[in-house]
Structure 1
Amino acid sequence: MQNFDLHNPTHIVFGARTVARLDELVPTKARVLILYGGDSARRTGTLAEVRAALGERDVYEFGGIEPNPSYETLMRAVELIRWEGMDFLLAVGGGSVIDGTKFVAAAVGYEGDPWEIMETHGATVRGALPFGSVLTLPATGSEMNSGSVVSKNATKAKLVFSSPHVFPRFSILDPTKTYSLPLSQVANGVVDAFTHVMEQYMTYPADGFVQDRFAEGLLQTLVEIGLQVLSEPDNYNARANLMWAATMGLNGLIAAGVPEDWSTHMIGHELTALHGIDHARTLAIVLPANMEVRREAKRGKLLQYAGRVWRLTEGSEEQRIDAAIARTRMFFESLGVPTRLREYGIGASQIGAVISQLEAHGMTALGERQDVTLAVSRRILEAGL
């Protein structure tokens, strides 16, 4: 196992009817900006519930944060905060809203061009406004980590930053807030959470026995409840386990002391930026193809994954690896999530543009061993056709 330094300061408040606890979690004298996405937060009553819990505090709203939060939209929030002098942010939504709020929190007091935050992947962040979140869509784990993904429409760039300054002070996780979600978003959340775990698990054996067992348990949980959260939208226990699995999948715990990959995400980001495919759906395309192309480098973990997650113990090593990759693809497709580029009208002639974007953004040596070159990324995309 590798050395590690693990610190996560986010206070989690989990369970039904916990939005009312905002009154004790948000400073009494705070001037609060609520950030949210589309109209669903208002239509479902969550926004009204949040405002009621905030009581007599000065409260402002900023809506319209996109499913892939854009720099252009977020900078409007930054200017509003600078003008009105808000001093506490509250994200109400899923990972995109929380990611966007992290960028806004870091950008308000940033000296220089705030896009540098993304270009330096957060290395230049020296502070941020405090913020909390009310999670309504389980998927990304952003409610309990310090990472964020933001797109710049002007250049079709989708970049990642992280900073210890942008951990949420708290996150409220009420599974009942997921009941009204479109099933396609719930399916995306399952795929997103599954792939997050795989990026930290599907590398090479590193004697991280505890981390491996945690990761395998999360994967098994997602497989077990995946169809149930779609067929029984108001099943509290199923939605609660999805919400907690997604949070645990990217809060730092299973990444401690083990190598990480993240090439699936980096390639997927470019597909979203160029073609507008939902983030999770790009992952469903790239992950099985990635495992296939890199099966030799990942052989040890692929066999472990086959045996422990899918209970595949019969046949040769090659047969078990083939079956594990096929099961992964079948799981995603059972949720109604396609796993081929052709299902989005993308053919071989469009792969070159994705490779060019990876090169432009410095993504020329990805993966746990930094051996996913542009040529390997091309092979992965070709395998996903």
Structure 2
Amino acid sequence: MHFTYVNPTQINFGQGQIQSIQSNIPVEQKVLVIYGGGSIKNNGVYDQVVNALKDHTWCEFSGVEPNPTKETLDRAVAIVKEQSIDFILAVGGGSVIDGSKYVAAAAKYDGDGWDIMLGQHRVTSAVPLGAILTLPATGSESNMGAVVTKAETQDKLSFMTPHVQPKFAVMDPDVMKTLPEKQLINGIVDAWVHVCEQYITRRHDAMVQDGYAEALLRNLKTLGEQFDERDNDAWRANLMWSANQALNGLIGSGVPHDWATHMIGHEFTALWGVDHARSLAIVQPSLLRNQIDAKRAKLEQMGKNVFGLAQSDDLAEQAIAAIEAFYQSLGVTTQFSEYENGKEDAVEAVIEQLSQHGMTALGENQAIDLEQSRRILSLAIA
């Protein structure tokens, strides 16, 4: 273990916390509120935001997609520049928050914001931002990462910089009451894979990180098993907090990371519009089977400590099957069949995207080259 860890995002957790933004955003700062398709106007969140900002000067930008696009976000960048916005308030799930991070960084850059995603511009400053979380899944409300899509070229890329870490995150579980069942399921799956990417790697001596990761996985497993109780206040609060803790940097400190499932899954979203979480469920079991020798020790550990399986010669295989069964119990498919042409064409389409994006040595050991990715995809695509 060798790391530096800090998480400066102030968390305001619990019912009624949206009003806290009154004091979290200086009244003299001009605010741009960024949100998605307008569901916040139907569930009362928008009205709470308007009330909380009654003493502020503010304007709004709506229409951020479930997978935020550069094309849409660049319009918000123009507003920030033209109206001299001092603070961005993201109201939504991971997509809105990720998109707002892009806006915050691109607004401080004179060139094309996509240069940030390509690594051709290093972010040195950003418009400060805060988040009101409405969909628990990504942990974006208290981390420094973002994923954005360029619709024109079907590129889905990520960037990380501490300059876009939210100053605060409001997490009121009540906002989940009107979420569709599919989005709640996606939140469970997304958070689950976030933990796995930092846990199912290779053996190490970081007992706290492993133990905390296993606690989060057990929480998410229980929440999935108790999905029929999702109208319960405790159920909502525990999902919201578990998803946040899955990707706030703590369980990944000083341990190996994988993220290959995400890198491959992103291409399913870019090419075919597959929900992010569901792309992960499609890729992960096949990837784990492909990498089982390197990951055997941690899969066995997960089998015992998360699923309660007994020691056996095929414990790692049983753990993968248990992961797959968990997704399927939520009605989430673990194979992809919605491609237009033949299976070979679908596999090669993803391989071409991975090649273009330089994703040629993935995983904690950089052992997943394009040939291994092809084998994974051959299992993952029906």
TM-score, normalised by the number of residues in structure 1: 0.96
- C-alpha distance in 2 between matches for 1:366 and 1:190: 24
SS at match of 1:77: helix
Once the two structures are TM-superposed, the CA of residue 113 in structure 1 deviates from its matched residue by 2.0
Which consecutive segments of 4 or more residues in structure 1 shift more than 4 A? 343-346
Cα distance in 2 for residues equivalent to 1:259 and 1:297? 13
Alignment length (residue pairs)? 380
Out of 362, 366, 369, the residue aligned to residue 358 of structure 2 is 362
Secondary structure at 1:13 match in 2: strand
Match for residue 341 of structure 1 among 316, 332, 336: 336
* Cα distance in 2, alignment partners of residues 279 and 379 from structure 1: 21
8 Å Cα contact 1:36/1:65 also seen in 2: yes
Q: How does 1:59-78 map to 2 (within 5 A)?
A: 59-78=58-77
Equivalent residues of 2:213, 2:251 under 8 A apart: yes
Structure 2 residue matching 1:137: 3-state secondary structure? coil
Equivalent-residue separation in structure 2 for 1:202 and 1:364 (angstroms): 20
Which secondary structure state, in structure 2, belongs to the residue aligned with residue 341 of structure 1?
A: coil
Q: Distance in 1 between matches of 2:282 and 2:338?
A: 10
CA displacement 1:38-66 (0-9 Å, x = unmatched): 12011112111111011221111100000
CA deviation map 1:292-320 (0-9, x unaligned): 1100011111111111111111432xx21
From 155, 158, 161, the equivalent of 1:157 is 155
Q: 1:269 to 1:78 in 2, by over 3 A?
A: same
Give the CA deviation at 1:82: 1.1
Equivalent residues of 2:304, 2:311 under 8 A apart: no
Distance in 1, Cα, partners of 2:343 & 2:179: 32
Choose 66-75 or 110-119, whichever is displaced more: 110-119
Q: Is the 8 A contact 1:22 1:53 kept in 2?
A: yes
Matches of 1:91 and 1:10 in 2, distance apart? 14
Q: Give the secondary structure class of the aligned counterpart of 2:221.
A: helix
Structure 2 residues not aligned, in runs of 5+: none
* Residue equivalent to 1:49: 48
Specify the alignment match of 1:298 in structure 2.
295
Q: State the match for 1:147 in structure 2.
A: 145
Contact 2:339 2:346 in 1 (8 A): no
Report the counterpart of residue 32 of structure 2 in structure 1: 33
Cα distance per residue 1:229-288 (max 9 Å; x no partner): x32332111110100010000000000010000000000000100011000000001111
Give the AA of the match of 2:337: R
Task: Report the AA paired with residue 283 of structure 2.
Answer: V
* 1:18 lines up with 2:17 in the alignment: yes
Q: Secondary structure at the match of 1:158?
A: strand
Partner letter of residue 55 of structure 1?
K
One-letter amino acid of the counterpart of residue 36, structure 1: Y
Q: How many Å separate the matches in 1 of 2:217 and 2:154?
A: 32
SS in 1 for 2:294: coil
The aligned residue for residue 257 of structure 2 is 260
Greater mean deviation of Cα atoms: 86-95 or 112-121: 112-121
| Matching residue's letter, 2:158 | V
Match of 1:381 in 2: 377
Q: Out of 286, 289, 292, which is 2:286 matched to? A: 289
Does the 8 Å contact 1:15/1:174 carry over to 2?
yes
- Length-normalised TM-score, structure 2: 0.97
Provide the C-alpha distance between the structure 2 equivalents of 1:167 and 1:79, rounded to a whole number of angstroms.
21
* 1:233 maps to 2:230: yes
Q: Deviations over 1:190-236 (max 9, x none)?
A: 000000000000100111111000000000000011142x3233211
Give 3-state SS (helix, strand or coil) of 2:130's partner. strand
Query: Separation in 1 of the partners of 2:319 and 2:68?
Result: 34
CA distance in 1, matches of 2:14, 2:79: 32
The answer to whether the 8 A contact 1:341-1:347 is kept is no
- The equivalent of 2:80 in structure 1 is 81
Q: Distance in 1 between matches of 2:339 and 2:222?
A: 28
CA RMSD, aligned part only?
1.2
Point out the more displaced range, 321-330 or 133-142: 321-330
Other structure's SS at 2:293 match: coil
The more displaced of 101-110 and 343-352 is 343-352
Q: How far apart are residue 69 of structure 1 and its match?
A: 0.4
Which amino acid is the alignment partner of residue 238 of structure 1?
W
* SS in structure 1 at match of 2:152: coil
Q: What's the CA shift for 1:343?
A: 6.0
Cα distance, 1:84 vs. partner?
1.4
Residue type of the partner of 1:21?
S
Residues 314, 304 of structure 1: alpha-carbon distance in 2 compared, 3 angstrom cutoff: closer
Partner of 2:309: 312
Deviations 1:85-138 (A, max 9, x none): 1111000000000000000000101132211110018x6001000110000000
Distance 2:15 2:139 in 1: 19
- Which of 172, 197, 206 is matched with 1:199 structurally? 197
